[in-house]
Amino acid sequence: MTLDTLIRIAREAGASDVHLEGGMPMALRVRGELRTSGEPFGPRVLTDLAREVLGDEWAGYAERGSADLSRVVDGQRCRINVLRTARGAGFAIRLLSSFQATLRSLNLHPDLAQLVKPHHGLVLITGPTGSGKTSTLAALLQELNLREARHIITVESPIEYALAPRRSFIRQREVGRDTPSFAQALEDSLREDPDVLMVGELRTPEVMRLTLSAAETGHLVLATMHSSTVAEALQRVVGAFAPEAQAGICMQLADALVGAVAQRLIYRPELDLRIPECEVLMGSTPVRALVRSGQFFKLGSALETGAADGSWTFARYGEWLARRKDWVHPSQAGEPAAELPVTAPALPRVRSAPAPAAAKPRPQAAPAVAEDGRLEIAAEEDDLLDVVAELERSKN
């Protein structure tokens, strides 16, 4: 069985993820639950499939025991992780959305667009694995792309959403293919005149340090990390550093924080749809004061009292979801997802003062006047004013 066939089966079943392991049948995650399908795969079959999918990247997989890549399989864009296990080669495949992610198409609250209005600062999108963090990040970037002419650089591993430039100029870099690491890409980006940086995941203290520095130096930085609440996410950022450095990190984080979103997917059987439920913490003055002092345990109270600043608790967001009527299903999402590579956008042009027109050279030879009064113009003579002037002289 080919990978195209497996992806087709998964798509028809409405699966979000596919898991393949030697000696076991295919496992599909449908509406958040795992179910098996078909007959067990032989380890040799999956090893041959891994060689075919990885191609030139097989050597790297053999050395590390894993490989990440994105591919279009049977018309479906997929994020593929190939891993070595006790049973041989295995696959964990995420089926990505086939439409361009926007806040509306993902059924997110339109107020989340406030997160990308500032021109500098840090926006964190958090949640457990498979909660749609990358989709929300892509939707926020699309809000910018449709509204403003900014230079956006993304650093991802791998690229999940190909962003089609509209008003913004977009560069997407994949770790392992276009740059050796997140840290190197962030260091490079500060010399590339970006307005907006997107960091696929905050994993190491070095990447967190560079991210905070970029947010402090006049860039809007969007990033994801794994946590179940916004308070836990902010505390994890600070806790990644040595104790003696944490007070300084708290100050940096407080100064840079625009907002943080924690999300989880819930299944609504009456809609046959999984939708994101969010906790949103905006970087208001009280919130910044709590972060600066390291009092993360008090952020729950700030969420409860911060509705006027745009903050949402999970409970209040759930009430908004219960009242909502205009749901968007994937089949109605509209614009299809772009495919890499994409063409460069037409940015607004800076108008400059027109250069003075160069004087046209005068004709070397005057037009000849025939005996009957007709003016004979040479083939290269095309200056109407010169012709009229010559006619006037011939009359006189």
Do 295 and 266 belong together in one domain?
yes
Do 310 and 247 belong together in one domain?
yes
Boundary of a domain, candidates 95, 130, 165? 95
Do 136 and 281 belong together in one domain?
yes
Q: Report yes or no on 367 lying in a domain.
A: no
Residue 84's φ and ψ, nearest 5 degrees, are -95, 130
Q: What confidence category does residue 379 fall into, taking pLDDT thresholds of 50, 70 and 90?
A: very low
Q: Does the pLDDT of residue 217 top 70, yes or no?
A: yes
Boundary of a domain, candidates 35, 60, 95? 95
Q: Does the pLDDT of residue 320 top 80, yes or no?
A: yes
Q: Does the pLDDT of residue 360 top 50, yes or no?
A: no
Do 84 and 160 belong together in one domain?
no
Q: What is the mean pLDDT of residues 315-342?
A: 76
Do 219 and 195 belong together in one domain?
yes
Do 86 and 161 belong together in one domain?
no
Q: Report yes or no on 385 lying in a domain.
A: no
Do 83 and 153 belong together in one domain?
no
Do 180 and 287 belong together in one domain?
yes
Per-residue b/e over 61-97, b at no fewer than 16 CB within 10 Å? beeeeebbbbeebeebbbbbebbbeeebbbbbbbbbb
CA distances from 352 to 38, 150, 168, 355 (A): 66, 20, 21, 9
Do 90 and 114 belong together in one domain?
no
CA atoms within 13 A on the CB side of 354: 3
Q: What confidence category does residue 356 fall into, taking pLDDT thresholds of 50, 70 and 90?
A: very low
Question: Are 134 and 224 a contacting pair, CB within 8 Å?
Answer: yes
The CATH number of the domain holding residue 293 is: 3.40.50.300
Boundary of a domain, candidates 332, 358, 386? 332
Number of domains in the chain: 2
Tell me: the pLDDT tens digits for 10-69? 999 989 899 999 999 999 998 888 999 889 999 999 999 999 999 988 988 999 999 988
Do 143 and 192 belong together in one domain?
yes
**Residue 245 corresponds to which tokens in the numbers above?**
């450095």
Kindly report the pTM of this predicted structure: 0.76
Q: What confidence category does residue 70 fall into, taking pLDDT thresholds of 50, 70 and 90?
A: confident
Residue 373's φ and ψ, nearest 5 degrees, are 90, -5
The mean of the pLDDT values for the chain is 86
Q: Does the pLDDT of residue 381 top 70, yes or no?
A: no
Q: What confidence category does residue 2 fall into, taking pLDDT thresholds of 50, 70 and 90?
A: confident
Q: Does the pLDDT of residue 354 top 50, yes or no?
A: no
Q: Does the pLDDT of residue 341 top 60, yes or no?
A: no
Q: Which helix or strand (DSSP H or E) is residue 174 part of?
A: strand 169-174
Instruction: Read off the amino acid at residue 221.
Output: V
Domain span including residue 228:
110-332
Q: What confidence category does residue 333 fall into, taking pLDDT thresholds of 50, 70 and 90?
A: low
